[in-house]
Chain A
Amino acid sequence: MKTFTYAIIGNSVAAIGAIEAIRSVDRTGSIGLFSDEPHHVYSRPLITHYLAGEVSEEKMLYRPPDFYERYGVQAFLGAQVESVEFENRRLQTAGGESAFEKLLISVGGRPIVPKIAGGDLRGVFTMNTWDDAREMKSYLPAVRSAMVLGGGLTGLKTAEALVEAGVRVTVVELAERVLSMLLDRRSAEVVVKQFENQGTRILTGTTISEIRGGECVESASLSDGSTAECQMVVLAIGVTPRLDLVQDTPVRTNRGIFVDRRMETSVPGVFAAGDVAEAYDALLDQNRVLPVLPNAYAGGRVAGLNMAGGERTYDLGASVNSTTFFGYPVVSAGSSAIEEGAEIIEGDDENGYRRFIIQDDRLTGFVMTGEVNRAGIVLDLVRERIPLNGLKDRLLDGIGLIDLPEEIRHKKLRGGTCCHEKH
């Protein structure tokens, strides 16, 4: 039985963050990586781009083909971990048993599948893995119009991909606006407009009540009573952490796997990161599941450094999101979705819509659409909790480093490193 110094379950961003971190301090300790997916590490957010035909197979890879080899990782791809014995530090796959000294669980989330009549028909998809996208892509020739249930990021990016693939799309969202976790009403409208420009309908305050068809999807009925013809339904109402491996084990869970500031679970030596983890959000001063890619990498990295004997804490506040809809940029961060209870500065001009949320003279969130250059400087105001003082009036014009208080500017410019993890 092989014993790994480091075992990693999962093969996405958090896992890579951990591997790269481990190897930055430990060049020899053995690393075993276990993934139920058969693929070389690929970029999950690119699956909608793959569906749209924008990204080739080879460009789906998140790291070069020789990544595992170069990083000295023994990768077990397509090897689902069936169980973990946390006391004995063992894990079991169909292929056998392995032992480990340190473990990282970064298995991500799985799509929430609502119970809808007809949900088992051919043509009903979820969108979470490369294989999901492949299947959907091969089904596309049969599709003229599609219905996407869920106006979150996955739903909208899938809808965009389908539009670009030539499909007529209707998006159905139960909430009163799309991207309700990320955007306020007005910025959501900006996004909706991008879809409407493409002839895509977005219906809010409604849901799919029934999917109809013989063997395959033929139409869907909405809760408002209407029915629309479609050959495909995509269920994208959200993801939930994959907790199967830790159910009924000493590993403490809440909504996700609960980790401390070092990304360590309640079981010493066992870490979790990425969409499965419920990590500290410095902005809210509480733990939460925050499935966004940059935080997953950073969390994986902190876990990796600690697994390799370092002392790092995860100190990233604020949800961050940057994407485009039909080429139109939309970025948001922090408490961007809140409507009230804070001072809000907003502007709307040819450069786009922007919105800044301020509490106690500190920026707690923002949305920028259209012109997003230098948004990182604004995000830093949020993450570093820099008092705004006079900066407030400059927010709409675009903040530069030169606008920052001299002391902060000098610290930034002389520092030469930009990770927010505390040493």
Chain B
Amino acid sequence: MALACFKLPEFLVERDYDKCINCRVCERQCGWEVHSYDEEVDKMFADTEKCVGCQRCAVMCPTGALVISPHPGRYREHGNWTQEHLRDAIRQSETGGVVLAGSGNDKDYPVYWDKLLLNASQVTNPSIDPLREPMELRTYLGAKPESIEVRDGKLVSQLPPQVQVETPILFSALSYGAISFQAQEALARAAAELGILYNTGEGGLHHDLYRYRGNTIVQVASGRFGVDPDYLNAARIVEIKIGQGAKPGIGGHLPGEKVVGEVSVTRMIPAGTDAISPAPQHDIYSIEDLSMLIYALKEATNYQKPVSVKIAAVHNVAAIATGMVRAGADIIALDGFRGGTGAAPKIIRDNVGIPIEFALAAVDTRLRQEGIRNRASIIAGGGFRNSADVIKAIALGADAVYIGTAALVAMGCTLCQKCYTGICNWGITTQNPYLAKRLNPEIATERLVNLVTGWSHEIKEMLGGLGVNSIESLRGNRLHLRGIGLTHGELETLGVRMVGQ
């Protein structure tokens, strides 16, 4: 403990003893064991150093006696050495390890959504009132043919498999193992209720969730966990996971302690063994290899399901994407550097990858230039915070978006970023039965449905303002966007004009 004195606590737990009634709810609710009751003095105490600032206790306290705030005790301010740099260096000096983190890149990089502004109709074209006129958010995911043939008013061309979604917002890959069963069940239920899709991640599909097969995207990742014909055929879409925005280029590692019970069954690996997802897919070293896997999966699913390929947004994303489309991908899923994770080396999370705004624009532009944009849908993910982000992404070229962190927030997540510890006071990123049962799937489902419904309403309002009555009419229409405070280079890559032009 000699070196512990180097570490300042991150959070301050302040208890108003005039309000505290010693009900011990905080003690029972803190998985970090911050709070304790001392019988002798009949008082609650707090071990401030253990606090991760998740706010569970403050929210649950029936008298509002608790305030959790950033600890005012700070190392001497330094323009270069931030508190975080200092803290991480001190921690690593103690452990010699890699600093882990959950959630997404939280650094102060520019958020380009906030530098893009939407248009609205005035005088020369009418806006549409979504409360009075139909407004279409439904869209279809999957490859579209070059042309279609219609005879006697009937479509005679054979279309590649299409997946209908009622609003262009999908739940991104969150695996059982990374999140609790309760959390995944809520995602599945909400997807079913909303007519959208959720994504199993690479953790397999729990047998109890097969009933939501109509709303499931299953992943085939480098570890191939839980993959078998039933799994593939239970899905609407099969997604090959190449990369993840929070940790491009690296794999995953679920420690053996977490591979217990149902997690091990669902992942189809022995209990207690580490679930290692290798950094690359070991059978994919080229576009040709990817094509082999894509077609293997299409064969396995009798060409009934679109195959998606998910990559992290990286520097040459546009070139990679055209290769993926030519390899036979029906859907390109792009994950920007703000995308979340259950666990990643913090240094990777915060320094690798590019913003989704650029990746999306670049890919959409390149596919159009090559005349193959119709051959794949694009799903963009990584840091969508509200409905404006979503509609801007559609205008930049996305068919739909993936939301992960936003969905977690709907379920209670406060972004304490401790997902990698397996202790989640909100019952989301944990397999601890004491903690996991805090998440009532019924409530979480309602909240997810509410969030997506609310966003969808807002999207309709914004579409109406644009004078557009269908989300598909907006897709890739960058004329509805203007950039503010962006360089010419940025505007050019985004394919967006400057405000005022």
Instruction: Please tell me whether chains A and B touch each other in their complex, using a CB distance cut-off of 8 A.
Output: no
